Amino acid sequence: MNYLEFIEKYANHPHYKAPRGNELHAKSWQTEAPLRMLINNLDAEVAEDPVNLIVYGGTGQAARNTEAVKEIIRILLEMDENHSLLVQSGKPIGLVRSHPQAPRVLIANSNLVPAWATWEHFEELKSRGLMMYGQMTAGSWIYIGSQGILQGTYETFAECGRKYFEGDLSHKLIVSGGIGGMSGAQPLAATMVGATYLGVDVDPERIKKRLETRYIDKMTLDYNEAINWTLEAKEKGKAVSIGLVGDIGDVLEKLLNDNIIPDILTDQTSAHDPLNGYVPNGFSLAEAMELRKTNPILYKEKSLKSMARHVGFMLEMQKLGSVTFDYGNNLREFAQQGGELNAFDYEGFVPKFIRPLFCDGKGPFRWAALSGDPEDIFTTDRELMKLFPENEHLIKWLTEAKEKIAFQGLPSRICWLGMGEREKAGLLFNELVRTGKVKAPIVIGRDHLDCGSVASPNRETEGMLDGSDAVSDWPLLNLMANTSGGATWVSFHHGGGVGIGYSQHAGMAVVADGTERAADCLKRVLFNDPAMGIYRHADAGYETAIENRKKFELNF
């Protein structure tokens, strides 16, 4: 199959569908894997808006434009193992000489010199075709649909239950805004931990997509109907998720007026981007889209004021007993800019629930079956449960995931694994490929939201023990460690999750293709990556991380 035939079959814009099976189109699995994952990111089952190459998060793109997509595909089809492709904000810009165990693709997205790192400067560059927003896993080609954030959300809700509700979230109500690509994981995570869930999104299409993929149970445009369903489910202790089309600020105001105070309250609207993400109060979706085009300055002003109002209601609910936390979309920062001076009076989810896991080197370990066969993922589920028989939490997660999660695009899975566990899992997968127990190689990656790969003072590194929240040496070291270790592709982005100016973060993906070369790379990368989390938190003074540094022999 030549290049043009490949494009016609697998990447005829906007119809993207990654190749399946064990037949190579590129020269090796080291280039076939990023090729398939790029196309998979743009599959309509996975991406929020394939027409505009937007994968999730309002504006997070897989590539800068359709010409760039085609050129990346052409290069990956032809490239050998002695070169690496450079991708600058979604555009291929050249090849460098490297070697067979070096990364095949080196990606940098959305990075700006700090004094110029503003949304305004970014948008000006983007309007001239010079940059794109890579989010975290959109521009690094390792997004796997809403499942990608699902277990992190599950872990967060479960820890919240343990901390505040004696581990039992039945008869408890979780309320949140946003039901998009990332926030769409919240309804299913909530029901998996036994809670009742009410989610609000102004865009009905986003909720419909979660219905189709079984991430949410019910949908309505009527507030009263949503409340009746919600209260009945909560009363009976039913784990039901409900999606309500509406403005989250208006709904929170109505809940306050009706004296319906959620047990748990958070938010995952696209508040990281006041212009192209969040929809201001008082506008229909169509009206908001028009205002974005005609008067972006006014749009942003109204968006910030709406966020302030939104957070004001969240603070009122916190005073009335809701366990309230920020879910990492930078809502508090922009609400403060919009006039809510007390926006940071509730904590972020990382310091509140997740940081102890980071100190163990734990984080979102994900993998995709390049065969396209769901049975390959089910095989990895079973083998992981055999590998870690003592990990009851992991076994419960994998069992429920098989029953409740619908695959989007290439069949994939995620689970949180820590230091030592990731390396064992990677070598296990490589052996499954070598022995033919799975039908094609497996791509291993992770969210950039990991224990040692992000500097994000309003999210992953909020409230660090030593005050080093904004030090971004750590994600740079993570990038270099994974590059030197032999990841198949690596990435370094700016802004993902919280917006331009507020974070820097590194990603990696490594292929298990059943070879000795792959085993060598897996041993290095899946050691280095979680080790960075322990180094980072031990250096900040966390006792658990200091103990883990000794336990895993990470001292000099």
Mean pLDDT, range 128-135, rounded to an integer: 97
- The answer to whether residue 144 sits within a structural domain is no
* Of 182-191, 246-255, 457-466, the least confident: 182-191
Residues 331 and 347: their CA atoms lie apart, in Å, by: 12
Across 94-124, b (16+ Cβ under 10 Å) vs e yields: eeeebeebbbbbbbbbbebeeeebebebbbe
Question: In the predicted model, is pLDDT for residue 131 greater than 80?
Answer: yes
- The catalytic site residues sit at 415
Which region holds residue 129: left if phi is over 0, alpha if psi is between -120 and 50, else beta? left
pLDDT-derived band at 149 (thresholds 50, 70, 90) equals confident
User: For 329-405, where are the alpha helices, taking DSSP H only?
Assistant: 331-337, 349, 355-359, 374-387, 392-404
- The answer to whether residue 9 sits within a structural domain is no
Question: In the predicted model, is pLDDT for residue 499 greater than 80?
Answer: yes
Question: In the predicted model, is pLDDT for residue 33 greater than 80?
Answer: yes
Mean pLDDT, range 506-531, rounded to an integer: 98
- The answer to whether residue 278 sits within a structural domain is yes
Q: Which of 179, 269, 186, 465 is nearest to 350 (CA)?
A: 465
Whether 411 and 522 share a structural domain: yes
Question: In the predicted model, is pLDDT for residue 182 greater than 90?
Answer: no
Chain centroid to Cα 170, Å, comes to: 27
Question: In the predicted model, is pLDDT for residue 201 greater than 90?
Answer: yes
Q: Which of 32, 42, 158, 150 is nearest to 90 (CA)?
A: 42
Residue ending a domain, among 347, 382, 408, is: 347
Residues 319 and 509: their CA atoms lie apart, in Å, by: 43
Whether 51 and 186 share a structural domain: no
Whether 48 and 187 share a structural domain: no
Mean pLDDT, range 366-371, rounded to an integer: 98
Residue ending a domain, among 324, 347, 370, is: 347
Compute the CA torsion angle 158, 179, 410, 13 (nearest 10 deg): -160
Question: pLDDT above 70 covers what percent of the chain?
Answer: 100
pLDDT-derived band at 1 (thresholds 50, 70, 90) equals confident
pTM given for the model: 0.92
Q: What is the pLDDT of residues 413-455, one digit of tens each?
A: 999 999 999 999 999 999 999 999 999 999 999 999 999 999 9
- The answer to whether residue 428 sits within a structural domain is yes
Whether 22 and 103 share a structural domain: yes
Whether 286 and 383 share a structural domain: no
Question: In the predicted model, is pLDDT for residue 339 greater than 80?
Answer: yes
Question: In the predicted model, is pLDDT for residue 236 greater than 80?
Answer: yes
| Per-residue confidence (pLDDT) for residue 95, from 0 to 100 | 98
Mean pLDDT, range 55-60, rounded to an integer: 91
**Count of structural domains within the chain:** 3
Question: In the predicted model, is pLDDT for residue 134 greater than 90?
Answer: yes
| Per-residue confidence (pLDDT) for residue 57, from 0 to 100 | 86
Whether 210 and 71 share a structural domain: no
Q: What is the three-class DSSP state of 121? A: helix
Q: What is the pLDDT of residues 254-276, one digit of tens each?
A: 999 999 999 999 999 999 999 99
Q: What is the pLDDT of residues 202-211, one digit of tens each?
A: 999 999 999 9
Residues 204 and 388: their CA atoms lie apart, in Å, by: 41
Instruction: Give me the domain span that covers residue 119.
Output: 14-127
- The answer to whether residue 535 sits within a structural domain is yes
Tell me what the pLDDT averaged over the chain comes to. Answer: 96
Evaluate whether 306 touches 365 at the Cβ level (below 8 Å).
Answer: no
Whether 399 and 533 share a structural domain: yes
CATH of the domain at 486: 3.40.1770.10
CATH of the domain at 164: 3.40.50.10730
| Per-residue confidence (pLDDT) for residue 221, from 0 to 100 | 97
Strands 363-369 and 442-446: antiparallel
pLDDT-derived band at 148 (thresholds 50, 70, 90) equals confident
Query: What are phi and psi for residue 342, nearest 5 degrees?
Result: -100, 20
Amino acid at 115: A
- The answer to whether residue 512 sits within a structural domain is yes
Mean pLDDT, range 109-117, rounded to an integer: 98
Question: In the predicted model, is pLDDT for residue 146 greater than 90?
Answer: no
Whether 299 and 218 share a structural domain: yes
Q: What is the pLDDT of residues 469-492, one digit of tens each?
A: 999 999 999 999 999 999 999 999
Whether 360 and 341 share a structural domain: no
- The answer to whether residue 132 sits within a structural domain is no
- The answer to whether residue 326 sits within a structural domain is yes
Element (H, E) at 207: helix 204-212
Whether 24 and 121 share a structural domain: yes
**Residue count (the chain):** 556
| Per-residue confidence (pLDDT) for residue 469, from 0 to 100 | 98
Residue ending a domain, among 347, 367, 383, is: 347
